[in-house]
Amino acid sequence: MTWKQVFTSSVGKKLVMGLTGISLILFLIVHASLNACIWANDGGEMFNHAAHFMGGNVVPRILEIGLFGGIILHIFQGYLLTLENRSKRTVGYAVNYADGSKWYSRSMGLLGTLILLFLIIHLAHFWFPNRSSQGFLLGPEINLYEKMKLEFSQLWVVIVYILGCISLGYHLAHGFQSAFKTMGVHNKKYNLMLSSIGYGFSVFISIAFILMPLSFYFGWVS
Ligand code: HEM
């Protein structure tokens, strides 16, 4: 497969979606683990320490550029695939699904769009103020724990985060196994294991993220 085909053929696009998807899953694991430091309930000391390591060192900041590149590529190829699938379909979705596909497998474009809207709000809450205070280099950072306390004291913000994380959960419920299948993990022996791990991961990660704004809103952490 040539580089041009990687970005233009259906198989190439699915490959890009799978590779960027798996990288984003790895990012979510690191992000949730780091954020889980809020539950140390030490006034944010452990969390701010970990966040400072990520925001104040060259290597994580270079990885951050790769992360944003991966997100943009995933969104771009995702929309192209959605349009491609739509133009191939002769009848709409008002039919019975003999293949038994779930609503969220058929709504990846919509769920991805909801996650994108959530991400714009999310980056405007934390990432942008923090990086702009650093002059987008390695300057002094804001107190992210106090910023979370402030943002998550507002009910509308908590609701937007819960809806964003539910969309993420459903997006992953299809995306997780789909990404690994595209990478070749696809035979009868492994399918059940892969879908179980995929569902388990989707539920676990979305509940973990949902509990974060709730913890601040209800004062479970101080
Ligand atoms: C719901 C609980 C969440 C909390 C409390 C939270 C908190 C944060 C904070 C404090 C930052 C700023 C880090 C920094 O400037 O160094 C950040 C960055 C970021 N978050 Fe979240 N996040 C949550 C969920 C999510 C979810 C579900 C996603 C993905 C769909 C996500 C994607 C990102 C991205 C892409 C960044 C910028 C990358 C970076 O860390 O440098 N976050 N988050």
Tens digit of pLDDT per residue, the chain (222 long)? 788 888 888 889 999 999 999 999 999 999 999 999 999 999 999 999 999 999 999 999 999 999 999 999 999 999 999 999 888 865 555 555 556 789 999 999 999 999 999 999 999 999 999 999 999 999 999 999 999 999 999 999 999 999 999 999 999 999 999 999 999 887 888 899 999 999 999 999 999 999 999 999 999 999
The single-letter code of the amino acid at 15 is L
Please report the pLDDT score of residue 90 as a whole number: 58
Ligand 1 centre to CA of 180 (Å) is 24
Domain boundaries, the chain: 3-89+104-217
- Is the domain spanning 3-89+104-217 CATH 3.40.190.10? The answer is no
Residue 30 structure tokens: 């690191």
Question: What span, in angstroms and rounded, lies between the C-alpha atoms of 171 and 105?
Answer: 8
Cα separations (Å) of 69 from 23, 26, 63, 128, 222? 11, 15, 10, 16, 35
Q: Which atom of ligand 1 is nearest to the CA of 51?
A: 16
Ligand 1 centre to CA of 26 (Å) is 13
Question: What span, in angstroms and rounded, lies between the C-alpha atoms of 203 and 205?
Answer: 6
Question: What span, in angstroms and rounded, lies between the C-alpha atoms of 117 and 149?
Answer: 22
Residue 180 structure tokens: 């690994």
Cβ–Cβ under 8 Å, residues 213 and 161: yes
Please report the pLDDT score of residue 186 as a whole number: 79
Q: Which atom of ligand 1 is nearest to the CA of 161?
A: 1
Residue with tokens 């002769």: 90
Residue 207 structure tokens: 């509940």
Mutational pocket test of ligand 1: of 24, 26, 30, 31, the residue with most ligand atoms within 8 Å of the beta carbon? 31
Q: Using only C-alpha atoms, what is the Rg of the chain?
A: 19
Output the pTM of the full model: 0.94
